[in-house]
Amino acid sequence: MEFIAVFAPLIGFIITGIFGTKMGKWPSIVITCGAMFAAAAASIYLFYAVNLQHAPYTTVLANWLTSGELSVNWALRIDQLTVVMMCVINIVSTCVHVYSVGYMSHDDHQIRFMSYLNLFTFAMLMLVTADNLLQLFFGWEGVGLASYLLIGFWHHKHSANAAAQKAFVVNRVGDLTLALGMMGCFAVFGSINFDVIFAEASKYADTDFVLFGQHLHAMTAICLLLFIGSMGKSAQILLHTWLPDAMEGPTPVSALIHAATMVTAGVFLLARLSPLFEYAPEIRVMITLVGTATAFIAATIGMTQFDIKRVIAYSTMSQLGYMFFALGVSAYSAAIFHLMTHAFFKALLFLSAGSVIHALSDEQDMRKMGGLWKKIPFTYIMMWTGALALAGIPPFAGFYSKDIVMEAAYASSNWSGQLAFWMSLAAVFMTSFYSWRLIIMTFHGKPRSSEEVMDHVHESPSVMLVPLFILAMGAVFSGAFFYEPFVGGEKAAAHGEMSAGHEEAGHHQPEVVPHESGGEDTVWARQSFWGDSILVLDENDSLQAAHHAPKWVKFSPLAVGLLGIIMAYLIYMTGPGVPDKIRRAVPALHALSFNKWYFDEIYDFLFVRRAFGLGRIFTKADRKIIDRFGPDGGATASGATAKLFSRFQTGFIYQYAFVMMIAVISLLSWFVFRAGQGG
């Protein structure tokens, strides 16, 4: 079953990649979408077989390479965490595939597009099913490649090419440290297989690296490197600049890669390696701070952008910040829970935005929208659903996941958790503010686009609306439905639900925590759900504490969220001049937000120009010094040698024979000479 779930997209990619243009459009679409349906069905079955039956397993496909102590397999590690990720990836990917059939129908290269989507899905599945760091790295680079190909899909657009390159270069920084972290793991554990690493993590908790005479705490160093690696892919602050630009790609790509799946790879990585991060408390504080900063800063930027996709992109970044600080306070399962609900509602928002863009003949500027809600009511409802889920209004999915994340932060024993709670509370306000700003600017008020465009406005075809509907179902129900198993509270008499495998391998598992009032039978629902795939040390278990957070903590996000909606309504619906007045009242703050905190400008100044300057110096040095004595000199000499050799090649047999005889005689003379030397 896991083979279908993982390899169906690869097969789809290979078939359509090679024969796509020969087969024509429809067979290619059927193959790519069919592969995704099969994969999605298989992963849902796995969810039943693995997560509900508590039976994780690993399938070894082949030995990949063996070199000295390093032995790496191609394997599929099918455990609870993996299967949750597989379900999210395959279901969202299937929706996006179907949606793309309609969205890209006017594009000449739709076949290529569909096969790239298949390739991406496969790479992402490879990433989540890896049972060792190298295979994970393979998937990691694979999704990077697919992302690069898809951002630059419209390669005639200069901005798309630039964005693709930016994404690639920025991600290299993260990939470098990820590779270093992998080597660090090998140095400490002598293996890069997860099983070995997880089993021995506690043993090496106090190991030091000695580097240039300095003692470094090994776990801290490794986790720092791995964390920076995940920052690149998950667009955390400092390495986030590529994500908004990545919106140059087609909208389905933004939905699948830059909202639902690839950018969450960093979150997955950290959750997967929870047994390591549990022993690196300093790094978890750092993760919390970075996540908090990302959530806050991205939300402020989102409030002032005008490009509909960029608003959602910054919102994605902000939500990723939430997931990261959840990881930072050891609430790994809450982070994955938020990852899942976010995948549904963010994909929904993006695809709805795509539907709007499609309706308006590729207009993305919200200043040129407005008054659309009567013309495209279905999209309008979908956008509301997504926005309600994003803002965390019950009973939508975001309410459950965002609240548990924030409660965990509040309940965390660490000061950084408190900071995260208050900052994210501010971000909640901004989130609902910009979401309704988006809805109001897009759908309400007077139409601001030209008559001609407005006449063309039409609801998208049903092939685009059905995926929206499915995602909307996810955005509405996934929160309430999965709350108990993913992050749920105590459950009495849960012995029956604990699998044999869970008990056998129970020594990594935190001891079953007896609740103050409950007896020894108490077991956390989430612990039996996740099994061994996530490790939380007892003293760090913030989720346990989260369930006992004060009532006001539970309700404040909701209240603040509603406040944000009301503010947006007052400002954008009542008077058209209000936004301008506010802008003039706080020009500095507005400029900071509108210009995205000047990250691009600072990077341009610090790195890009320096790099160009350095490049120029090297060019000169290269031409003047190295070329003259190095390659050019070498090339001239090589040319001369070549001519010398070819001069021997006269074509006359007697000369060839002569050379052979001379060679034999020289060899003989050499031996005679050596014999004479007494050798």
65 counts as binding another protein under rule CB under 8 A: yes
Specify the stretch interacting with another protein by CB under 8 A; choose among 278-286, 324-332, 357-365, 644-652: 644-652
Specify the stretch interacting with another protein by CB under 8 A; choose among 219-227, 320-328, 582-590, 664-672: 664-672
64 counts as binding another protein under rule CB under 8 A: yes
Q: How far apart are the first and last CA of the chain?
A: 69
676 counts as binding another protein under rule CB under 8 A: no
210: β partners: 215
Give me the DSSP letters along 577-597.
Answer: THHHHHHHHSHHHHHHHHTGG
Locate 400 and state its tokens.
Answer: 């459950």
CB of 262 to another protein, least distance (A): 23
CB of 43 to another protein, least distance (A): 24
Give the per-residue contact string, 614-643, with another protein (x = CB under 8 A; - = no): ------------------------xx-xxx
Instruction: Report which of 343, 514, 278, 517 is spatially closest to residue 527, judged by C-alpha positions.
Output: 514
648 counts as binding another protein under rule CB under 8 A: yes
What CA–CA distance (Å, rounded) separates 578 from 584? 10
Q: Which of 429, 663, 673, 677 binds another protein (CB under 8 A)?
A: 663
Specify the stretch interacting with another protein by CB under 8 A; choose among 469-477, 514-522, 564-572, 657-665: 657-665
657 counts as binding another protein under rule CB under 8 A: yes
60 counts as binding another protein under rule CB under 8 A: no
What CA–CA distance (Å, rounded) separates 144 from 147? 5
Locate 174 and state its tokens.
Answer: 């993260």
The smaller minimum CB distance to another protein, of residues 625 and 640, is found at 640
Specify the stretch interacting with another protein by CB under 8 A; choose among 63-71, 171-179, 409-417, 584-592: 63-71
Give the per-residue contact string, 7-46, with another protein (x = CB under 8 A; - = no): ----------------------------------------
Question: In this structure, how many other beta carbons lie within 10 angstroms of the beta carbon of residue 176?
Answer: 14
For the chain, how big is the Rg over CA atoms in Å?
A: 29
The smaller minimum CB distance to another protein, of residues 626 and 663, is found at 663
CB of 119 to another protein, least distance (A): 15
What CA–CA distance (Å, rounded) separates 129 from 139? 9
Query: Which 8-state DSSP code applies to residue 62?
Result: E
The smaller minimum CB distance to another protein, of residues 108 and 538, is found at 108
Q: Which of 26, 555, 598, 670 binds another protein (CB under 8 A)?
A: 670
The smaller minimum CB distance to another protein, of residues 570 and 663, is found at 663
CB of 6 to another protein, least distance (A): 15
The smaller minimum CB distance to another protein, of residues 555 and 670, is found at 670
- Per CB under 8 A, which of residues 334..363 are in contact with another protein? none
- Per CB under 8 A, which of residues 69..98 are in contact with another protein? 74
Instruction: Report which of 433, 443, 367, 391 is spatially closest to residue 570, judged by C-alpha positions.
Output: 433
The smaller minimum CB distance to another protein, of residues 119 and 201, is found at 119
The smaller minimum CB distance to another protein, of residues 559 and 668, is found at 668
What CA–CA distance (Å, rounded) separates 76 from 132? 10
CB of 664 to another protein, least distance (A): 5
CB of 158 to another protein, least distance (A): 22
The smaller minimum CB distance to another protein, of residues 106 and 643, is found at 643
Which helix (H) or strand (E) segment is 71 a member of? strand 70-78
The smaller minimum CB distance to another protein, of residues 573 and 640, is found at 640
48 counts as binding another protein under rule CB under 8 A: no
66 counts as binding another protein under rule CB under 8 A: yes
Residue 131: CA atoms inside 13 Å, Cβ hemisphere, count? 20
Q: Are 369 and 413 in contact (CB under 8 A)?
A: no
What CA–CA distance (Å, rounded) separates 369 from 356? 9
**How distant is the alpha carbon of residue 506 from its chain centre?**
31
Burial of 51 by CB count in 10 Å (0-12 exposed, 13-18 middle, 19+ buried)?
A: buried
68 counts as binding another protein under rule CB under 8 A: no
Q: Are 375 and 459 in contact (CB under 8 A)?
A: yes
Instruction: Report which of 357, 41, 250 is spatially closest to residue 33, judged by C-alpha positions.
Output: 41
- Beta carbons within 8 Å of 194's beta carbon, 6+ residues apart: 77, 130, 131, 132, 133, 272
What CA–CA distance (Å, rounded) separates 181 from 506? 28
Going 314 to 266 to 81 to 518, the CA torsion angle's sign is negative
What CA–CA distance (Å, rounded) separates 603 from 599? 6
Q: Is 351 helix (H, G, I), strand (E, B) or coil?
A: helix
Instruction: Report which of 355, 360, 378 is spatially closest to residue 370, judged by C-alpha positions.
Output: 360
Backbone angles phi, psi at 600, to 5 degrees: -65, -40
CB of 94 to another protein, least distance (A): 28
CB of 135 to another protein, least distance (A): 11
CB of 9 to another protein, least distance (A): 18
Specify the stretch interacting with another protein by CB under 8 A; choose among 56-64, 178-186, 193-201, 523-531: 56-64
- Per CB under 8 A, which of residues 483..512 are in contact with another protein? none
Q: Which residues bind another protein (CB under 8 A)?
A: 62-67, 74, 638-639, 641-643, 645-646, 648-649, 651, 653, 655-657, 659-660, 662-664, 667-668, 670-672, 675
